[in-house]
Amino acid sequence: MLNSLHVEGRTLLHRLPAGPKLALLAAVSLALFFVQSLPILALSLAVTGLLYGSLGLSAGEALKRIRPVLITILLFALVNLVLISATEALTTTLRLLSVLLLAASVTATTTIAAFMDVLTKLFLPLERLGLLKAADISLAVGLVLRFVPEIAARYEGLKEAHRARGLPVRLSRILGPLIISTLKDADSIAQAIDARGIRGQ
């Protein structure tokens, strides 16, 4: 079983409580979408890049963590170059990259337990209204965050297994076993949760 996305460290972001970090992420993300100045957006990208680079991750690991979203943003940028002006496309791309790096920094410096505590407190008003169970929502989010790297590693393992057998690596061949193994794990986790009476609480 892999570790979570959390990285041990002693940086200022590590020492900051989860609540303020998530509030900062939300505030900065919202504020950036009102910024149209390219120099300011470039500065925000530089700052968030330095912040992400200060977490102690190797270059390969740092890139690996954000690669899927990074590729999506770059593809989105190429599409924007066709649909809108180059200035608007660059503005959108800088904005998204800044949010990505800040979100990755917050995720890497916050434990899943801390995330879950914040979410539980956040959803308590809705629980009092009888709309949901705050602990269930935080548990679901925590499980997603915990097993994202595990599923990614399993995908890489399946690719390596195909290469070792001399089989061409195709998503259509990997997707089936990946989904089946993930669903089996989900069933096992659900049974463990029910056996401990967590959802009953």
Spell out the long-range contacts of 42-49 with Cβ–Cβ below 8 A and sequence spacing 24 or more. 42/94, 44/94, 44/98, 45/94, 45/97, 45/98, 45/101, 48/97, 48/98, 48/101, 48/102, 48/105, 49/101
pLDDT at 127: 75
Same domain? 20 vs 105: yes
| Listed residues 66, 90, 110: the one ending a domain | 110
Same domain? 86 vs 120: no
The yes-or-no verdict on residue 8 having pLDDT over 90 is no
Say whether 56 sits in a helix, a strand or coil.
Answer: coil
Quick check: pTM over 0.85? Answer: no
pLDDT-based confidence at 46, cuts 50/70/90? very high
Residue ranges making up the domain that contains 49: 12-110
Number of other residues whose CB lies within 10 A of the CB of residue 50 = 11
| Listed residues 81, 110, 139: the one ending a domain | 110
Residues 49-91 have pLDDT tens digits of 999 988 888 888 888 888 888 889 999 899 988 888 888 989 9
- At which residue do the structure tokens 């992420």 appear? 25
- Asked if residue 201 belongs to a domain, the reply is no
| Listed residues 95, 110, 125: the one ending a domain | 110
Same domain? 93 vs 153: no
- Average pLDDT of the residues in 173-196: 71
pLDDT at 192: 63
- Asked if residue 5 belongs to a domain, the reply is no
- Asked if residue 1 belongs to a domain, the reply is no
- Average pLDDT of the residues in 158-176: 78
- C-alpha–C-alpha distance, residues 174 and 147, integer Å: 18
- C-alpha–C-alpha distance, residues 94 and 103, integer Å: 14
Q: How many domains does the chain have?
A: 2
Average pLDDT of the chain is 81
